[in-house]
Chains A and B, each alone.
Chain A
Amino acid sequence: DGGITQSPKYLFRKEGQNVTLSCEQNLNHDAMYWYRQDPGQGLRLIYYSQIVNDFQKGDIAEGYSVSREKKESFPLTVTSAQKNPTAFYLCASKEVLANYNEQFFGPGTRLTVL
């Protein structure tokens, strides 16, 4: 089955620790995205990547880092510099060559800081 997988589903972190969230897609999409969702809020863009070895900051990139070494993978690291990391994190991907088409989302990772 083609799709986007995120792991783990739930993640707990102690203050001061970095954690990495995994996102993998087998849709052969060039573009990938990371969003953060807080309770009662819409999705806010953290980082996005249009192609391997290239990525851009979104609206709330501070305290986060990403890499795009492979087309199918776009891991997100939540660093200790992120002051309020507890949230639901969503990864998405999109076909680049086709305009006017939707992003496909993964199931999400819920991160809780203890």
Chain B
Amino acid sequence: NAGVMQNPRHLVRRRGQEARLRCSPMKGHSHVYWYRQLPEEGLKFMVYLQKENIIDESGMPKERFSAEFPKEGPSILRIQQVVRGDSAAYFCASSPQRREKLFFGSGTQLSVL
């Protein structure tokens, strides 16, 4: 049973480009959470999704950021027109039920040049 899979592991983008981060939850998990860890800062919640639904996006920046978790396929965190301040580690976590123990992916390190 594979764990939570995130790809790419590292992503380099130039300012103004788009970044797409993918997360495949553990088998049987339909709850996905995205977190961001800025350099020298703690982890911050971004968004919580269930299949095809955004449940809580209170931690998402209002502009340029979006997330989806389609019926088929991985969850996608999309950042449009990236800026240097978006450089961070983005972690995805999944759980089998709401508010249960989380299983984390290895993260995607986004670097914006």
Q: Is chain B found bound to chain A in the same assembly? A: no
